[in-house]
Chains A and B, each alone.
Chain A
Amino acid sequence: MATTDALIEIADASVNFGGVAAVQGASLAIRRGEFVAVVGPNGSGKTTLLRLLHGVVAHSGLRIVQAGGEPQAMVFQRPFLLRLSARDNLRLALWLAARRWPAQERRARIDAALRKVGLWPLRERAARSLSGGEQQRLALARAWALGPAVLFLDEPTASLDPSAKKEVESVLAAFAAEGTTLVMSTHNLGQAKRLATRVVFMDEGRIALDLPTADFFARSGRDARADRFLAGDLPWSLD
């Protein structure tokens, strides 16, 4: 159980919301450099699992974070951007989260983040006037500028059109390539197949399967419900 190179580990953790068990008895370890896709039907607890791993929800059971407390950040399906310019949104986020960095370093990180997601030319535009894909990229830049070791993403492309989806996926791939650990919930299996190194299948609050990507998609008949999910018989689709 105590895997020493895990960045975050939960053991037999459960989350209850007013009598309803959103996550039950979950045990999972996130290792450095992984790109974990959390998939499953609607209401299976994917978002709650992410929040549990991120440490922002009350739970029973264990949650262990690697000593040193490396920063984590979370990006949501619909990012909340303030009515400011793209750059000012980043300035504010960094000021709120990491005042310990001197102004110069904050500035450098912001500029690097904007360039990395390809938004440098749009930095002075009103954040809310950007397209869906651009806004999500901005949210990614905002999270990335903090230099997190682990980046959580809750259905980041669910409300985007195909071309915007592609933009965001290539940014995520770039993050993964340089070593950021990513944990992403998605209902898009094609996306999981394209990007993830590992797939966690959740069903009714429990972690039903936890396999490397290739194994998961090799339809080896390990779990009847997982098979049905892959076949699209459970309420989610294959893109």
Chain B
Amino acid sequence: MNAFADSAATAAGLIVHADPVLVRTMALSFAVSGAACAIAAVFGLFAGAWLAATRFRGRRVMLWALDTMLALPSVVVGLVVYLLLSRSGPLGSWGILFTPVAMVIAQTILVLPVIAALARQVVAGALRDGGEQLRSFGAGPLACALLMLLHERWAVLTLLLIAFGRAIAEVGAVMIVGGNIDGVTRVMTTSIALETSKGDLPLALALGVVLLAVVALLNGLIALLPREAGGERAEAS
């Protein structure tokens, strides 16, 4: 139990003193995972909408593959990207191994299936409700699907937060492709892993608490966003 008390105190101290190394590490975590989610969102939302709206041969196979990718271990993604970016690999000439860019790539691959699968779910549900009526206005199937993403934008936000959570909390991929280099590719999760392996458990836990605290702050700010013309809270039906 002492470890918990120690880490609570350490966490409070870290937050209050805004230790520069901690701030930089946190910023890098947010930057990497944020960028990965943003990129994955562009492709994933579109893919999800498209899968919900169109029918084509092999669609079921694609859905099956997509659902399977939801269980991709982050370490495996890390290994694959590492082997691709390694100097003795096909993309070695890019020279981006052990940089934040490599970490963004790995995390994008990791969360893209999450976003696509959930977006497909959201759009399919919305299309069931009003797809026919939208089509009667002359919207093509893909346009309908994209409109439904707009219509369900708060559900989309939730699924993006889920993806962001998956990204910022993972350690397997960023450890392997980033190398946990001090000052360059060290993020919150790899710091936690490092402190654990050094035996400094209270500090490791404290870092975890700080990470959660910052994410909680982010979610709190999002919850405060005014939901005007179109907010769910205002709906009568």
Q: Footprint of B on A, CB under 8 Å?
A: 56, 73-74, 76, 79-80, 82-85, 88, 92-93, 96-97, 124-132, 135
Given A73, A84, A131, which contacts B229 in the complex, CB threshold below 8 Å?
A84
Q: Are A128 and B230 in contact (CB under 8 A)?
A: yes
Given B134, B228, B230, B235, which contacts A80 in the complex, CB threshold below 8 Å?
B134
Q: Are A126 and B143 in contact (CB under 8 A)?
A: no
Q: How far is the CA of A73 from the CA of B136 in the complex (A)?
A: 8
Q: How far is the CA of A146 from the CA of B150 in the complex (A)?
A: 23
Given B129, B133, B138, B236, which contacts A129 in the complex, CB threshold below 8 Å?
B236
Given B130, B153, B236, which contacts A130 in the complex, CB threshold below 8 Å?
B236
Q: Are B138 and A83 in contact (CB under 8 A)?
A: no
Q: Are B147 and A82 in contact (CB under 8 A)?
A: yes
Q: Are B236 and A80 in contact (CB under 8 A)?
A: no
Known: A79-B133, A126-B234, A126-B235. A96 touches B143 (CB 8 A): yes
Q: Are A80 and B237 in contact (CB under 8 A)?
A: no
Q: How far is the CA of A126 from the CA of B227 in the complex (A)?
A: 10
Q: List 25 A-B contacts (CB under 8 A).
A: A56-B136, A74-B136, A79-B133, A80-B129, A80-B134, A82-B130, A82-B147, A82-B150, A82-B151, A82-B230, A83-B151, A83-B230, A84-B151, A85-B229, A93-B137, A96-B134, A96-B138, A96-B143, A97-B138, A124-B229, A126-B228, A128-B236, A130-B236, A131-B236, A135-B237
Q: Are B237 and A128 in contact (CB under 8 A)?
A: yes
Q: Are A129 and B147 in contact (CB under 8 A)?
A: no
Interface size class of B (residues with CB under 8 A): 20 to 34
Q: How far is the CA of A88 from the CA of B151 in the complex (A)?
A: 12
Q: How far is the CA of A130 from the CA of B230 in the complex (A)?
A: 11
Q: Footprint of A on B, CB under 8 Å?
A: 129-130, 133-134, 136-139, 143, 147, 150-153, 228-232, 234-237
What is the chain B residue whose CB lies nearest that of A80? B130
Q: Mostly helix, strand, loop or mixed at chain A's interface?
A: mixed
What is the chain A residue whose CB lies nearest that of B235? A128
Other A-B pairs, 20, CB within 8 Å; known A83-B232, A85-B230, A93-B137: A74-B136, A76-B133, A80-B133, A80-B134, A82-B151, A83-B152, A83-B153, A83-B230, A84-B229, A88-B229, A92-B147, A96-B138, A97-B137, A97-B138, A126-B228, A126-B229, A128-B235, A129-B234, A130-B236, A131-B236
Top 9 A-B residue pairs of the complex, sorted by shortest distance between their CB atoms: A80-B130, A83-B230, A129-B234, A80-B133, A85-B229, A128-B235, A97-B138, A96-B137, A82-B151
B214 to chain A, nearest CB (A): 30
**Which residues of chain B have C-beta atoms less than 8 A from A73's C-beta?**
136
Q: How far is the CA of A88 from the CA of B147 in the complex (A)?
A: 13
**Which residues of chain B have C-beta atoms less than 8 A from A88's C-beta?**
229
What is the chain A residue whose CB lies nearest that of B144? A96
Of B133, B134, B231, B232, most A-chain CB atoms within 10 Å? B133
